[in-house]
Homo-oligomer: A and B are copies of this chain.
Amino acid sequence: MAIDKKQVSSWFEQLQNEICTKLERLDGQAAFGTDRWRREAGGGGITRVIESGALIEKGGVNFSEVHGKVPENMLKTLEIEQDSDQDSTFFATGVSIVLHPINPMMPIIHMNVRYLEVHGKEMNLANWFGGGIDLSPHYIFKEDAQMFHQKLKDACDKHDSSYYAAFKKWADDYFFVKHRKETRGVGGIFFDRLSETTDSSIESIFDFVKEVGNSFYPTYEQLANKRRNEDYTDNELGWQALRRGRYTEFNLIYDRGTKFGLETGGRVESILMSLPPHSKWTYNHAPPAGSPEENTLRQLRKDVDWISPD
């Protein structure tokens, strides 16, 4: 079965709208700016950024829908087999969110949902969904990580009982800062190239992606309301800035979306909205033994069962 790509992009655009409206209300102080941009070769996007809020120090909620002839090397990058890129066209749409909170007791959150179609001269070469939600706390609170993962598992379980375990592992592997040998945060779910199979239609996958998109706001609201009024010290703000530095390292060195966007001439300011308002690097910083900071560092590893901690 086919899916109407315009229906997908419309749904994504509406998701962007809804999330921005709700986040503004949650923030209570700042409003999202709106930058509409066009891609010369086809399509464009809407970049919405919020800065200096009461809750969010810097955050972006981006929508894009780009299409046209496939850019050079795109098929190769996507590992799609085809003799040449000529005559191939693509359509890609998605929503990406990164929110950097003021309060260091609150986590950085990231969400992405995306859809891609590639057409060769005579055939459909690919169409698939990808996405995920993951959390990068400056300070790890086990009960928050547990709640977060439980919400993701609930969303997954409604659609396929194998999804959560598979996509949780995928997030652990993807959001890994190799040179630091630490995960970016407590993970979440990450999935890519979900296509129609004999077991699931493309419509049912779209339903799952909608579930992920819709679960973003209520999950974030719960985390925000729990932590936004906690006290914090200058020392804790310093730690937040160091953790933001690690976030910067991941996004600039490893993140595939960032790399792909910058290499294919995407809109730089929309791509790099994910970077923190500021980051800090202190040579050889090591938190004192037994401190909450050291406790957080020790938990930044793969394969932690956040839902049923031992």
Contacts and interface: CB of A to CB of B under 8 A. Distances in A.
Contact of A284 (B35, B179, B275, B276): B35
Interface in A237-277: 241, 245, 248-249, 252-253, 262, 268-269, 272-273, 275-277
Pick the most buried of A180, A262, A273, A282: most chain B CB atoms within 10 A of its CB.
A282
Interface residues of A, number: 30
Contacts of A178: 262
A27 interface: no
A283 B253 contact: no
A293 B133 CA distance: 38
Interface in A139-184: 178-180
A51 interface: yes
A278 B58 contact: no
23 contacts: A33-B283, A35-B284, A49-B284, A51-B282, A58-B283, A60-B283, A179-B268, A180-B268, A245-B275, A248-B248, A248-B252, A248-B279, A249-B272, A253-B262, A269-B283, A269-B284, A272-B281, A276-B281, A277-B281, A277-B282, A278-B279, A278-B280, A279-B279
Contacts of A284: 35, 49, 269
Nearest to A50: B283
A51 B283 CA distance: 8
Contacts of A58: 281, 283
A272 B279 CA distance: 14
Interface in A108-158: none
A213 to B, nearest CB: 23
Contacts of A275: 245, 281
A249 B275 CA distance: 10
A245 B267 CA distance: 17
Contacts of A283: 33, 49, 51, 58, 60, 269, 273
Contact of A253 (B51, B241, B253): B253
A179 B262 contact: yes
A58 B284 CA distance: 12
Nearest to A242: B278
Contacts of A277: 280-282
Nearest to A285: B269
Nearest to A100: B281
Q: Across chains A and B, which 4 residue pairs bring their CB atoms closest together, nearest first?
A: A252-B252, A275-B281, A179-B262, A278-B280
Contacts of A269: 283-284
A253 B253 CA distance: 6
A204 B275 CA distance: 46
Nearest to A238: B278
A55 B219 CA distance: 46
Contacts of A281: 58, 272, 275-278
A33 B285 CA distance: 13
